[in-house]
């Protein structure tokens, strides 16, 4: 059974308050009881002191002085709160007692003989508070003075108080629970509105946002977070759509060229030379498509989020080998310019690093003049290890620098040119660098060249 959030809040608060109220009620009852008992005990003590001095021992008998007067006074009168007094000998045999005791006797407790404290005793259906002190004659205990006072009124007061508290306790708790449930219900009302509005947002109206209302509190922060999430989702969806349309466009162009070329070929018989020329054109289109598909596959692999294996790699040896290999496949000038003479070990993925450098070096070769060299620089500055790919090409405008890492983005200057490419190389570089924790940046000046810098923080 699932319990609603407001119910849970109300239950938890009520349970906590129930404990606090229980403690408070317990303290109230305890304090009242203590006060009542202390008052009675004080009266008992006063009476005991007063009557102690009115006692004399004669012929081994203990008696009250002025018993007659005393009989006429308080203890013979009908009193609301009478004091009962009795004298017993050392063995507990009654010797004298106040007339208001009639035929009854107070109980003697030998074990509490000299404690000087009062206690509650039951006398039939009534309760008494009793005190007992020893009576000395020349240093010998001759007997005991028992003084008692009715505890009935106090007991009634305490019972009433206990009953009132017992009735109040559940009543307070029930009303508290209902109030808290109501308050919790009102408090989560804005959350319910947010849920309602969020449920209405689907892929078709992802541009809608939950309106902000009220003060800048947690609810507003939640609304902002959901709106930010919606914004990110909307952007991601837009990028996805853009990516799909760019990818289709990128593949459709060489496909159209291929189709056109084949159509031209079958329209009428051609010479051997013409066939060769058209087939060459068709092959170029196929190459272009293959290159784009391969790059898309690399990008898909990186984006699939598969965990990459990091291994220890000497960056100096790696760059040296890389440049040597590259030189074998091109007649262009590629220079390796290390600024350090010792190995630099890093945890990275060799294959991914190879793809990153390939894309940067290929671009540097592609976009710079055939006569211009491309430099690969390896260096270390403090905690930073860097590799730079530098060319003396046309450079990249500031506007383009902001977007060249986006998939399918091609700089304005290359759009009209015959430089092959689909605008995916740097997007792959960026994704792989993010995966390997490499910072990638570009510096470029028009007509002076570009420098792509990879940085590792060691
Ligand atoms: P592609 O080279 O296929 O166009 P890239 O993603 O590799 O795609 O590069 C994106 C854009 O960045 C290129 O179209 C080009 O405008 C610019 N660019 C990249 N490298 C260089 C470079 N070394 N010199 C000048 N422009 C460059």
Q: Has residue 31 been placed in a domain?
A: yes
165-188 confidence digits (pLDDT tens): 999 999 999 999 999 999 999 988
Amino acid 78: pLDDT: 46
pLDDT confidence band for 67 (50 / 70 / 90): low
322 and 296 housed in the same domain: no
Check residues 217 and 78 and name the one with the higher pLDDT. 217
Q: What are the residues whose beta carbons fall under 8 Å from the beta carbon of 436, sequence distance 6 or more?
A: 308, 310, 348, 349, 352, 353
Q: Has residue 195 been placed in a domain?
A: no
CA–CA distances in Å: residue 65 to residues 83, 135, 136, 148, 377: 17, 14, 16, 19, 123
* 65 pLDDT above the threshold of 60: yes
**CATH code (residue 425):** 3.30.565.10
383 and 241 housed in the same domain: no
228-275 confidence digits (pLDDT tens): 999 999 999 998 898 899 899 889 989 999 999 999 999 999 899 999
123 and 233 housed in the same domain: no
pLDDT, averaged across the chain: 89
* 400 pLDDT above the threshold of 70: yes
315 CA to centre of ligand 1 in angstroms: 25
12 and 148 housed in the same domain: yes
Q: Has residue 180 been placed in a domain?
A: no
Q: Has residue 24 been placed in a domain?
A: yes
396 lines ligand 1 (CB under 6 A): yes
449 lines ligand 1 (CB under 6 A): no
* 76 pLDDT above the threshold of 60: no
Helix, strand, or coil here: 424?
A: coil
Provide the domain count of the chain.
3
- Give the Cβ contact number of residue 203 at 10 Å: 8
284 and 322 housed in the same domain: no
| Domain range for 145 | 5-160
46 and 149 housed in the same domain: yes
129 CA to centre of ligand 1 in angstroms: 104
414 lines ligand 1 (CB under 6 A): yes
331 CA to centre of ligand 1 in angstroms: 21
Atom of ligand 1 nearest to the CA of 452: 23
Question: What is the C-alpha separation between 456 and 319, in angstroms, rounded?
Answer: 15
**CATH code (residue 58):** 3.30.450
Domain boundary among 302, 321, 342: 302
Domain boundary among 247, 274, 302: 302
* 332 pLDDT above the threshold of 70: yes
Which stretch of DSSP H or E encloses residue 347?
strand 345-348
pLDDT confidence band for 31 (50 / 70 / 90): very high
404 CA to centre of ligand 1 in angstroms: 7
348 and 415 housed in the same domain: yes
407 lines ligand 1 (CB under 6 A): no
- Ligand 1: residue of 293, 397, 410 to mutate (most ligand atoms within 8 A of CB) is 410
pLDDT confidence band for 111 (50 / 70 / 90): confident
Give nearest CA residue, ligand 1 atom 19. Answer: 363
428 CA to centre of ligand 1 in angstroms: 12
Atom of ligand 1 nearest to the CA of 391: 23
316 CA to centre of ligand 1 in angstroms: 26
Q: Has residue 194 been placed in a domain?
A: no
405 CA to centre of ligand 1 in angstroms: 9
4 CA to centre of ligand 1 in angstroms: 57
Highest mean pLDDT of the ranges 57-61, 71-75, 91-95, 291-295? 291-295
CA–CA distances in Å: residue 303 to residues 205, 261, 404: 26, 35, 18
315 and 278 housed in the same domain: no
Q: Has residue 442 been placed in a domain?
A: yes
b/e 293-306 (16+ beta carbons within 10 angstroms → b)? eebbebbeebeeee
The neighbouring-strand residues paired with 56 are 63
The neighbouring-strand residues paired with 55 are 64
236 CA to centre of ligand 1 in angstroms: 23
CA–CA distances in Å: residue 425 to residues 218, 275, 408, 443: 44, 33, 9, 17
19 and 133 housed in the same domain: yes
Question: What is the C-alpha separation between 225 and 2, in angstroms, rounded?
Answer: 27
Q: Has residue 200 been placed in a domain?
A: no
243: left (phi over 0), alpha (psi -120 to 50) or beta: alpha
Give the range among 65-79, 203-217, 319-333, 353-367 with minimum mean pLDDT. 65-79
Amino acid 74: pLDDT: 52
What DSSP designation does 106 have? P
364 lines ligand 1 (CB under 6 A): yes
- Ligand 1: residue of 423, 441, 444, 453 to mutate (most ligand atoms within 8 A of CB) is 423
Tokens of 257: 């060229």
131 lines ligand 1 (CB under 6 A): no
57 CA to centre of ligand 1 in angstroms: 126
273 and 334 housed in the same domain: no
Question: What is the C-alpha separation between 341 and 392, in angstroms, rounded?
Answer: 26
The stretch 71-86 carries a mean pLDDT of: 65
29 and 108 housed in the same domain: yes
423 lines ligand 1 (CB under 6 A): yes
134 and 241 housed in the same domain: no
CA torsion sign for 211, 216, 220, 225 is positive
410 lines ligand 1 (CB under 6 A): yes
- Ligand 1: residue of 299, 334, 363, 395 to mutate (most ligand atoms within 8 A of CB) is 363
Domain boundary among 276, 302, 328: 302
Q: Has residue 400 been placed in a domain?
A: yes
**CATH code (residue 281):** 1.10.287.130
415 CA to centre of ligand 1 in angstroms: 10
The stretch 99-109 carries a mean pLDDT of: 83
């Amino acid at each position: 059974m699932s319990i609603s959030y407001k119910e849970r809040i109300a239950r938890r608060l009520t349970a906590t308050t129930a404990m606090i109220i229980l403690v408070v009620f317990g303290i109230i009852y305890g304090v009242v009881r203590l006060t009542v008992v202390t008052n009675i005990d004080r009266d008992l003590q006063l009476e005991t002191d007063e009557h102690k001095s009115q006692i004399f021992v004669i012929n081994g008998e203990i008696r009250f002085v002025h018993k007659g007067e005393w009989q006429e006074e308080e203890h013979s009168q009908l009193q609301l709160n009478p004091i009962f007094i009795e004298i017993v000998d050392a063995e507990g045999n009654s010797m004298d007692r106040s007339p208001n005791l009639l035929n009854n006797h107070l109980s003697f407790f030998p074990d509490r003989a000299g404690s000087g404290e009062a206690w509650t005793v039951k006398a039939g259906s009534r309760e008494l508070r009793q005190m007992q002190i020893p009576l000395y004659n020349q240093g010998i205990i001759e007997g005991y003075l028992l003084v008692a006072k009715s505890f009935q009124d106090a007991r009634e007061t305490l019972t009433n108080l206990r009953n009132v508290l017992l009735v109040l306790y559940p009543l307070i708790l029930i009303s508290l629970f209902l109030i808290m449930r109501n308050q919790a219900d009102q408090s989560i009302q804005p959350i319910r509105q947010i849920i309602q509005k969020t449920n209405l947002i689907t892929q078709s109206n992802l541009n809608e946002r939950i309106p902000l209302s009220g003060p800048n509190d947690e609810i507003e922060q939640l609304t902002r977070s959901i709106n930010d999430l919606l914004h990110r989702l909307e952007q991601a969806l837009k990028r996805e759509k853009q990516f799909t349309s760019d990818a289709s466009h990128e593949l459709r162009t060489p496909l159209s060229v291929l189709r056109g070329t084949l159509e031209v070929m079958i329209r009428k018989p051609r010479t051997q030379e013409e066939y060769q020329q058209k087939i060459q054109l068709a092959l170029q289109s196929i190459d272009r498509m293959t290159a784009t598909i391969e790059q898309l596959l690399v990008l898909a692999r990186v984006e699939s989020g598969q965990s990459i294996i990091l291994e220890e790699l000497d960056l100096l040896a790696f760059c040296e080998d890389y440049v040597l290999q590259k030189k074998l496949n091109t007649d262009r000038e590629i220079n390796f310019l290390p600024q350090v003479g010792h190995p630099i070990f890093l945890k990275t993925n060799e294959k991914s690093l190879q793809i990153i450098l390939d894309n940067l070096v290929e671009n540097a070769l592609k976009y710079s003049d055939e006569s211009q060299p491309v430099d690969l620089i390896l260096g270390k500055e403090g905690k930073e290890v860097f590799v730079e790919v530098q060319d003396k090409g046309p450079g990249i405008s500031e506007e383009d620098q902001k977007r060249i890492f986006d998939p399918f983005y091609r700089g304005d200057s290359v759009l009209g040119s015959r430089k092959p490419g689909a605008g995916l190389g740097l997007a792959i570089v960026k994704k792989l660098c993010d995966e390997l924790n490499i910072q990638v940046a570009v510096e470029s000046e028009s007509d002076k060249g570009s420098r792509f810098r990879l940085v590792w923080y060691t």
